[in-house]
Amino acid sequence: MATITHAREAVVQTLYANEMGNDDAFNQFEEILKDKKVKGEKANFARKLLKGVTENLDKIDRVIKDHLIDWDFDRLDKVDKQILRLGVYEILFTDTPYQIVIDEAVKIAKNFSEDKSKSFINGILDKVAKEKETILKSLV
């Protein structure tokens, strides 16, 4: 049975494939959902997340860049970048409690990223969550 984490993983995988130059990545999203057995409301949730991230990508990337300390955005691990994009989107633009977003992001990092990525992603998303109101005002 697919979980909401599987839905988020499908979004991260699609964003990653696109970042790696797969021009057909967004068209393959439904196939990824099917492969992960993500159906019904969970699939709709994943579709909304993917749409939201892609529609707000410039804003999301600006927020990530603003929260990187001594690190270049272009040097970020490509998987970590997608996990951060999804997490920042959810924290800023959905009603999902930030604790759940961060927990899910760390869980995805455990499955797809290096061990050190978990604390890096946790730290960035925690800062974004704490500064949410200020960030939203700056994005207007």
Q: Are 91 and 98 in contact (CB under 8 A)?
A: yes
**Band of pLDDT at residue 91, cut at 50, 70 and 90:** very high
Q: What domain range is 96 assigned to?
A: 4-139
20 has a pLDDT exceeding 90: yes
Read off the pTM.
0.95
Predicted confidence (pLDDT) per residue in 96-110, tens digit? 999 999 999 999 999
Secondary structure (H, E, C), the chain: CCCHHHHHHHHHHHHHHHHCCCCCCHHHHHHHHHHCCCCHHHHHHHHHHHHHHHHCHHHHHHHHHHHCCCCCHHHCCHHHHHHHHHHHHHHHHCCCCHHHHHHHHHHHHHHHCCCCHHHHHHHHHHHHHHCHHHHHHHHC
Q: State the CATH number of the domain containing residue 110.
A: 1.10.940.10
Q: Hey, what are 5's tokens?
A: 């984490």
Statement: residue 30 has pLDDT above 90: yes
Could you give the number of structural domains in the chain?
Answer: 1
Residue 28 has pLDDT above 90, yes or no: yes
